[in-house]
Structure 1
Amino acid sequence: MTRLLRLRGTFNPAVVALVVTACGSAPPLAPAPDSGASPTSATPSSRTPTRKPQVTLKRGGGFYKDDGPGDEIPDGLDDVPDAEPRWEALHKPALRPYVVLGKEYVPNTALRPYKARGIASWYGKKFHGQKTSIGEPYDMFAMTAAHPTLALPSYVRVTQVQSGKSVVVRVTDRGPFHADRIIDLSYTAAYKLGLINGGSGLVEVEALLPGESAVVRPLPPAERDEIEELSRRLAREEAPAQAAPATDGPLARGVYLQLGAFGNADNAETLRNHLIRELDWLSEPVRVVAGSGVHRLHLGPYGNRAEAERVAEKIRLALGYRPTFVTRP
């Protein structure tokens, strides 16, 4: 699914992720040799598709334009087992620093303690079967998730703060890159947490190491106004257009918005897919442009700087980060 474009242009070090070492207060825990067993999660082939659950799906926070649960959802999603933490070799290409909309992300290069609260969203049929950051196909019916900086692959316990429901998922992908959101869940994980109806929800995410108990005491119900306030901050302006897919060929003249820069092509393609999902109102294509060993995400072209400025401001309001500008004469 990787589509790369090449562009002769000026190298901009300000937007390229530097190779730095991730820091942490706790010492890294080196993974033990892999036992060779497969991660414990059910696959779509093990269940018979019938109909999707009868829920009212709301736009905003969960899936986006042209995404969703699909037409056929297998029975028995409640019985899909949680992922079982085990020692796995980390995927080195997914551990490299990268830049998204001017913000540098430095992934953990080892398994470390982690605990945070924030908004969880989910992604579904639009990305089902597409390659994740560790090279595996995304399975929306497995117990998996995406996170911006956790070492890949790794395991986390996700607890829905309002209800106290908890699941364990295997983190295999990068994202989300939206302000306030800390994790993207597979459809099944979101379903088991009760997040499908609302599209998103406040969760607590805690890293798990192999051998640690996945049992957790339920959290007390959260205050309703806290949930509603965080949910309101996720609301985004409706728009009919969607970004077109990247295509091969030289870039046209005009002003482009640079959304990120990576040393790894797969990571650039992963971010492109996430941004198309999160910025589904875009009318111009998001392209991966390769040059000088760097894979940049360019949005455009726009006819003039003022037009590009308007789009950049909408992106800043939606994601909290402002793109940089690139002019192609």
Structure 2
Amino acid sequence: MERKLLLTLIAVLVLSIALAGAVWLASPQREWVRLGAGKAGVDPNIAAAPAPVPQATPTPWQTARAAIRKLGRDLGFGHASYYGPGLAGGQTASGERFDPRKLTAAHRTLPLGSRVRVTNTRTGRSVVVRINDRGPFIAGRVIDLSTAAARRIGMLASGTARVRMQLLV
């Protein structure tokens, strides 16, 4: 009985292999076509499309500039204060030393290096400053100006002023 079962299993295995080979041999042979060889109707005079250029991840500066463009150049109104001369020589967020004689300012979110026109709404005087630091960190204030910038727009005596800010891109 065991011998009969073994012979049956061998016969089934042989038939399976034979059937698989027959199916494989009966399948239609496919012709491989190389593109550009004229067989597929490709014009050899047409240049291949250039490979797509991978898009670089935007820098924080590019992202901020794109967001500002969406909002427009007008940054709105707010209250400005200015750095006292006692902070001269201290390091700013940009890495440079604070110089109260330069037209610089601190802003919480604008990219370092941005240029902003700051206009005192009471006097109508304006100044263009470069953002080189972070701040102000006092509630209700939107920008900290250097002493020179504060002098130009006439806010030294009061210490603070309502200003309008415009980004210069």
Query: TM-score per shorter chain, which class?
Result: 0.5 to 0.7
1:121 partner SS? strand
Bigger CA radius of gyration: 2
Which residue type is aligned with residue 78 of structure 2?
A: G
Q: Which amino acid aligns with 2:131?
A: V
Match of 1:110 among 47, 51, 64: 64
Looking at structure 2, the residues matched to 147 and 110 of structure 1 have their Cα atoms a distance apart, in angstroms, of 13
* Counterpart among 113, 117, 139 of residue 179 in structure 1: 139
Corresponding position of 1:141: 101
Large movers: runs of 4+ above 6 Å: none
Q: Work out whether 1:202 is the aligned partner of 2:162.
A: yes
Give the secondary structure class of the aligned counterpart of 2:64.
coil
The one-letter code matched in structure 2 to 1:200 is T
In the other structure, the counterpart of 1:127 is 87
Amino acid at match of 2:104: T
Cα deviation for residue 131 of structure 1 reads 0.8
Q: Residue 153 and residue 109 in structure 1: after superposition, are their counterparts in 2 closer, same or farther (change >3 A)?
A: farther
Between the aligned partners of 1:114 and 1:154, the Cα distance in structure 2 is: 13
Q: Does 1:160 align with 2:120?
A: yes
Query: How far apart, in 1, do the equivalents of 2:63 and 2:144 lie?
Result: 20
Question: Superposed, which structure 2 residues align to 1:1-329 within 5 Å?
Answer: 109-111=63-65, 112=68, 113-209=73-169
Give the Cα–Cα distance (whole angstroms) in 2 for the partners of residues 173 and 134 of structure 1: 6
Greater percentage in helix: 2
Secondary structure of the residue that 1:110 maps to in structure 2?
Answer: helix
- AA at the equivalent of 2:134: R
RMSD over aligned Cα atoms: 2.0
Q: Is the contact made by 1:153 and 1:171 (CA closer than 8 Å) also made in structure 2?
A: yes
Shift of 1:127: 1.4
Q: Amino acid of the residue matched to residue 87 of structure 2?
A: F
1:125 offset after TM fit, Å? Answer: 2.0
CA distance in 2 between partners of 1:152 and 1:192 (Å): 22
8 A Cα contact 1:109 1:151, kept in partner: no
| Aligned counterpart, 2:50 | none
Deviation at 1:180, TM superposition (A): 1.2
- Distance in 1 of aligned mates of 2:142 and 2:127: 16
**What is the percentage of aligned positions where both structures have the same residue?**
44
| TM value normalised by structure 2 | 0.58
In 1, the alpha carbon distance for the partners of 2:157 and 2:113 equals 28
Deviates more, 1:121-130 or 1:183-192: 121-130
